[in-house]
Structures are given as C-alpha cells and as structure tokens.
Structure 1
Amino acid sequence: MPPKKQSHQVTMALPAGEAPVAELGKMLGMTGVNLVALKKEYDARTVAQRGEIVPAVITIFDDRSFTLKLKTPPTSFLIKQATNGSKTLSHDQLRAIAERKMPDLNTTDIDAAMRTVAGTARSMGVKVS
C-alpha cells in the first residue's frame, strides 16, 4: 500500500474542549474531511485544558483522513492568564510559562525560553519583575 499523500495542512487556535464546528467548516470544509470526527477528537484530547486556547496542526491526506498535533497555548494567552489583569509578571510566573512553552520553542535552555517569554510580555506592556 503506498504511503498517504498530504493534501492540506492548517494550523488553528481553538477553544479547548469545545471546538466550534462553524470555525472548522470555514477552514476545512473544502477538504472533505469528516468535521464531526475531527471535532470529537480535538474536544476529547483537550477537555482537560478547557478554558484555554489550544492551537492544533491539522494535516489532511488525499483519502480524507487526518492527523491532529496539539501545541501549547499561545504565550500571550498564558501571560494574560498568569497576570490576571495586572501589568506585572513575577519571575516564578515567567519560569512556569517558559517551562510550559518549552516543547514548542526552538530551545532546550530554560533561560533562553524565559527571555523569549519576557520579550513577549514586554511587547504586551507587561513588566517582568
């Protein structure tokens, strides 16, 4: 059996545990993929993160099957969640966000990851203390 051929790849940031079918339909309707099955898989895999935004890389193959790769929530989302309306991010909060983002960053050094997160915080107007 020949290997599956990829026909589309889309990255979407969706609410965890409750992906909107309308949003999936807008981005993936033309691919012919089973949107209900995709929604069920996404919701099942992200239900523990409900209330967060979880990006997913959706790869659709020519036979209309798909794979779903989940990523960590966007750094800006995690900063907003950690600061809870405040304009200051503590060193401990910064480290926790950097540790959580490590799988998606292009570094394995926690200090470099913390500098990356701190840069995002500064660009959002959040002071790192």
Structure 2
Amino acid sequence: MVRPLAQHSKTTLRKAWKHAVSPLHRKKNQLMAPKKKVSALIKLQIEAGKANPAPPLGPALGSHGVNIMDFCKAYNAQTQDKMGQIIPVEITVYEDRSFDFILKTPPAAALLKKAAGVQKGADNPLTTKVGSVTKDQVREIAETKMADLSARDIEAAMKIIEGTARSMGITVTD
C-alpha cells in the first residue's frame, strides 16, 4: 500500500530524494568534466556576414588571445541570412583562449530606422520629427525583440519600442 506524501517521515523523503533517478545525479567515482573558466565577456555590434579582423573586431578579440579568423568565419556563417543588418553578439572568452558566442536580435533603433525609412534619428527629438511608424510596425518590431527585452508581454515590449522611437524623433501613429 502506498502512503500519501504527508505521512512519510522527513528522513524517508530525504533518502528518496537523494536516490532519485536523474541525469543530474552521478555516482561517487564518476567525475564530471571540469568547467572552463571565463576570461572575458565581449559585447559587440557587427554587420551580419561582414566580420573581418580589422578594427574594432580585431583589437577587441586579439587583446584576449582569441583566434580572430576562427570567430569571423563562424560569425559570418551564422549570419549569412541576415545580410545588411547589424547583429549584436556576446562573445565569451575562456582562459584556454577558446570562445563561444550568442547572437542577439538587431537593435530596436536600427529596426525603427528601417521601418520609418530614415537614415538617422533626429538631433533634437522634442522639436524635430524625422519619420513615423504605425502601431502594427511597432508590434512587429516588439515581437522580433521580445527575446532580448525584459518585458513580460507584448504590450510592455511595444511601450519600450515606442519610447525608443520617441527618443529618435519618430512618431507612432495608429
């Protein structure tokens, strides 16, 4: 007969939990691979498919001992389908000079400039308006950026994007 969980003693529950079958548990004499120690975290914004060893990329990676050409080849291969966009990247450099990188979504300002059809934002956004975007365009940009924003839902993400648009001198219309 199986007793309800509340009737088991704490010791019994602790033993059951200790011996639970899980991939996270390992045997005593089984060793885990040692973690790599992180040497640096580098954040850059590079045009998709056009990474090369020239500045600013070369000096940023070279100062940490990373093989720049290996990074350029890997980055260009992963961003081929996004040509023409600026893609932020977080590069994690380890002590053994190896690296990993994570691609982010394009900056909201770049997406807004593309949607509004302008080259750059206003010098003084309070008095000068350089373009406009619709609520539907803002929603589309918010859905694209949702993974990188700290918003809990699409409406909150839209408010963040609308604030960015206002600070660039772009008006949001219905």
TM over 0.5: yes
Q: Does 1:121 align with 2:165?
A: yes
Q: Which residue of 2 aligns with 1:30?
A: 63
Counterpart position of 2:46: 14
Q: For the residues of structure 2 that align with 1:8 and 1:92, how far apart are their CA atoms?
A: 39
Is 1:111 equivalent to 2:155 in the alignment?
A: yes
- Is 1:97 aligned with 2:141? yes
CA distance, structure 1, for counterparts of residue 111 and residue 156 of structure 2: 17
The answer for unaligned runs of 5 or more in structure 2 is 1-32, 119-129
Instruction: Pick the structure with greater CA Rg.
Output: 2
The gaps in structure 1 that reach 5 residues or longer are none
- Displaced runs of 4 or more, over 2 A: none
Which residue of the partner structure matches residue 90 of structure 2? 57
Alpha-carbon distance in structure 1 between the residues aligned to 2:151 and 2:68: 34
The alignment's TM-score, normalised by the length of structure 2, stands at 0.72
Q: Deviations over 1:20-48 (max 9, x none)?
A: 31122121111111110100111011111
Alignment size in residue pairs: 129
Q: Distance in 2 between matches of 1:83 and 1:115?
A: 17
Over the matched positions of the two proteins, sequence identity in percent amounts to 46
- Aligned mates of 2:156, 2:52 — CA distance in 1: 35
Q: Which residue of 2 aligns with 1:5?
A: 37
Could you say what secondary structure the match of 1:94 adopts?
helix
Q: For residue 3 of structure 1, what is the amino acid of its counterpart?
A: K
Matches of 1:116 and 1:127, distance apart in 2 = 14
Higher relative contact order (Cα pairs below 8 Å, separated by 6+ residues): 1
The CA RMSD over aligned residues, in Å, is 1.0
